[in-house]
Structure 1
């Protein structure tokens, strides 16, 4: 069995990942680095650490020589403003990646976004592309990038645009897996990504994510 740490465990994808790992036979220890406790993290395999993401390097001992880092950190420009979005989706993500690399973690699994492109004029897509590039330069033994389309999930806060998008995409999902995936499917794919022995960088688009989720077993 493997060991791992998670950043972003309180978000849509991260919380589903915690639930799956609670029942998974593939992981014996999971460290959660979060600003608040995670209710779903029940069982002896979980270690919860309350962290300050501006001082994440202080948690080196907590992640030393674990096998996998799962990163599902993210916010929105609407919620945090442009500067706040960049701080979370770039700075904090990179802090987590560097923490993992400096402490011997071999695999890094990142939730990015479909269309991520460092040359884009759009902040969201550009930031995701920059992060993918910069983590790639850290040379993990394995780096797997999840590029989902629209993420279906139950949010704590009401997001009208997401609700509208979900209604529009629902009929499309009946004929194609290109456009959307659930937070659970992404979490399932993330776990599956750690179970192959293929080294190097891998990009899983929405079609691949759904395909892997269908193969998932605890």
Structure 2
């Protein structure tokens, strides 16, 4: 069995991931680094640590000996502003990746987004693309990028973009799995990604995420 740490555990995908990891027979220890305790995260293997992401390096001792890092950190420009979005989706993610690399973590699994492109003129895809590129350059033994389309999840806040997206993608989902995936499916695919023998940098698009989630077993 492996050990892991999770950042972004209070979000839609991260919270589902922690629940699955708590029940998984593939992991013996899971360290959850979050600003606040994760609701519903229970189990003998879970170790919850309250952290300040501006000083994440202070938690390096908590992840020593861990094999896998899962990152589902993310916010929105509407919620945090342009600067706040970049701080979370770039700076905090990179802090987690660098801390992981410096402490011998072998695998890094990242929730990114469809359309990630470091050369984009737009903030969201550009930031996602920059992070993918910069983490890739850290040379983990395995770096898996999850690029889901629309994420289907219950959220405490209303997001107009997701609401409109669901209207568009709902009928398309009857014919293709390219457009959307549930938070649970993404979490399942993230765990499955750590179990493959393939190494190096990989990108899992929405179709791959959905296909892999169907193979998931605890």
Which category of TM-score, normalised to the shorter sequence, fits these structures? over 0.9
Over residues 170-214 of structure 1, what are the superposed CA-to-partner deviations in whole Å (9 max), with x where a residue is unaligned?
Answer: 111110011111111100000000001211001000000000001
SS of equivalent to 1:14: helix
Other structure's SS at 2:146 match:
strand
- TM-score where L is the length of structure 2: 0.98
Structure 1: which 5+ runs fail to align? none
Distance in 2, matches of 1:74 and 1:33, equals 14
SS in 2 for 1:163: helix
Question: 1:167 Cα deviation (Å)?
Answer: 2.5
CA RMSD of aligned residues (A): 0.7
Please give the alpha-carbon distance, in whole angstroms, between the structure 2 residues aligned to 1:217 and 1:170. 27
In the alignment, structure 1 residue 175 sits paired with structure 2 residue 175 = yes
- Off by >4 Å, runs of 4+ in structure 1: none
**Partner-residue secondary structure (3-state), 1:177:** coil
> For the residues of structure 2 that align with 1:166 and 1:2, how far apart are their CA atoms?
36
Q: 1:28 maps to what in 2?
A: 28
Alignment of 1:90-109 (within 5 A): 90-109=90-109
Distance 2:160 2:126 in 1: 24
Tell me the distance in 1 between the aligned counterparts of 2:64 and 2:137: 20
In structure 2, C-alpha distance between the alignment counterparts of 1:116 and 1:159, rounded to whole Å: 20
Shift of 1:106: 0.3
| Cα shift at 1:161 | 2.9
Q: Name the CA distance, whole Å, in 2 between partners of 1:41 and 1:102.
A: 27
- Gaps of at least 5 residues in structure 2 are none
2:200 corresponds to 1:200: yes
Q: Secondary structure at the match of 1:151?
A: strand
> Which whole-Å deviations, capped at 9, do the CAs of 1:153-173 have from their partners, x for residues lacking one?
000112233122213211111
**Residues paired across the two proteins, number:** 218
1:86-107 Cα distance to aligned partner (Å, 9 max, x none):
0000000000000100001000
Q: How far off its partner does 1:84 sit? A: 0.2
Name 2:210's counterpart in structure 1.
210
